[in-house]
Chains A and B, each alone.
Chain A
Amino acid sequence: MHPEEPKYRYNPQPEPEKPYVKTFIEGENSFSNTISHLLKKPLSVIHSIDENKGVRWMPIFVMTILSLTLFGFIVGSFRGATEQMWLAPLKIVGGVLFSSLICLPSLYIFCCVGGLDKKFSTILGIQSCTMAITSLLLIGFSPVIWLFSSSSDSLSFFGFLCIAIWLVCLFMGLKFLTKTGKAFGMTHTKHLYLWAGIFTLVTLQMPTTLRPIIGQSEKGKILELDEKKFFLQHWTEELSKQQDRNREDSMY
């Protein structure tokens, strides 16, 4: 028995969290500088937009459209020089914009429910930056997508690869969204996580609704809007078709 042994354990008080310091875009207000800040310090872009520091929406929006168009062009070139080369960019740009548009009201409401006190235009800005980061990363992946599109004939493999890459890029974009929520003083960020899940589902459903994007329709149609399908059902069917094709190939 040690008489000196204390009867209680002393836990040192945890260090207080450092106060959040707002950062703004440094340097000249050029397009390349905005893009660089969007990747390195995305919060500085949103603060600059929120406090009218001369950063404009239009270049970010145009950059998103251009990036998605390029991504769509590479995806559409899977079957070579077909009509999909112009249809795929159109469908991808349209699908992403439409998904963002239909999810914007819920993002605003979820932000308010989470305790965020910001204007609708700021929420629109946050979502635009989220999509801009996602589309920029898609450009980064475009050499990888091109490599696989030129070295594989399997529609389902290429489709899954594109979806996997989309999910990785979207994850990065949504990470920025939740970070922004916290930085702006959101008290319950779990609402944002829920919204992120819903938005992901919407963007996964959109390519199925706007199919065919990668290959060509068996019925020769540009859109198959009359045949409604859930994306999981569609991809399961595609996978089983691919399995049948593989079996047939292995028989000969």
Chain B
Amino acid sequence: MPRLLSRLTEIFSSIPALCRGDHALIDHWMRQSPVFILCRTLPLIILGCGSYGLSMGLWRGWEMASYAGIKFPLVVIATLAVNALINGMFAMVLGSGITMRQSIQFLFTAFAIFALILGALSPITIGMALQGPLEEGPDARTFHSITLLTHVFMISYAGIVSHSMLLGALKKYAHTKIAGIQTFFAWLVGNLFVGAQIGWIARPFFGSPGNDIQFLRDDKFSSSFYESVFNSFQNILF
């Protein structure tokens, strides 16, 4: 028990330095084993993304909130797991000088910052959800759209800030600045591409008014995010 407490204290005391993207802390973390990084970043990802996920589903009640609170950290971890191999290979092929192990450590660190930002914003979004109109009310659709846009904005903001900190550290680690930037963009595009699809499979998060509350949809494996975007464009244009 005292060991767990001291570890938790250590994790929480590293939060300010992590948010600043402190080079000394990142240098120290990069020299450690992957288990060390996972022990420090996974609790932050689970807590930060979990509390934010909770706020996403809260408007539709506690059942949806708990589902979204469980799913959101899982989406982040699944994205990192699916992309781990190709991210490591990209780092090597693009000549960044970053090893496979370091690439995983870098990305977990970046997603820990992402989770911290979202976790810090979650009291606001929880308050917003609790103040929302009734699901059957006339303003439900408008509120749902506002909530959706707010979450998209906040998640994008957290993603940009966390990844820009990663870029600073990558430039420092890479053999050349260009190799660092190329690796950063390869990781960013890959994470966005896969993250969007995993998020699509894991829906619903918000629970549209009128739809049933479910952990996962029945048709979760019947289409992809990109097909639906393409079909939507097609419906608008033709």
A binding-site residues for B, Cβ under 8 Å: 36, 39-40, 133, 136-137, 139-144, 147-148, 150-154, 157, 172, 243, 246, 250
Contact = CB atoms under 8 A, between A and B. Distances in A.
Interface of B: 81-83, 85-86, 88-90, 92-93, 95, 190, 193-194, 197-198, 200-201, 220-224, 226-227, 230-231, 234-235
Contacts of A150: 221
B197 A151 contact: yes
Contact of B89 (A136, A151, A153, A246): A136
Q: Which of A40, A140, A150, A154 has the most CB of B within 10 A?
A: A140
Given A157-B226, A172-B93, A243-B234, A151 B86 contact: no
Contacts of A151: 197, 200-201, 220-221, 223-224
Contacts of A152: 222-224, 227
Q: Which of B81, B90, B93, B200 has the most CB of A within 10 A?
A: B93
Contacts of B222: 152-153
Given A39-B92, A151-B200, 18 more contacts: A39-B89, A133-B93, A137-B89, A140-B86, A142-B85, A143-B81, A144-B83, A144-B190, A144-B193, A151-B197, A151-B201, A151-B220, A151-B221, A151-B224, A152-B222, A157-B230, A243-B234, A246-B231
Given A140-B88, A144-B194, A39 B221 contact: no
A243 B198 CA distance: 25
10 A-B pairs with the lowest CB-CB distances in the bound complex, closest first: A140-B86, A140-B89, A39-B92, A152-B224, A143-B82, A140-B85, A151-B221, A40-B92, A157-B227, A172-B93
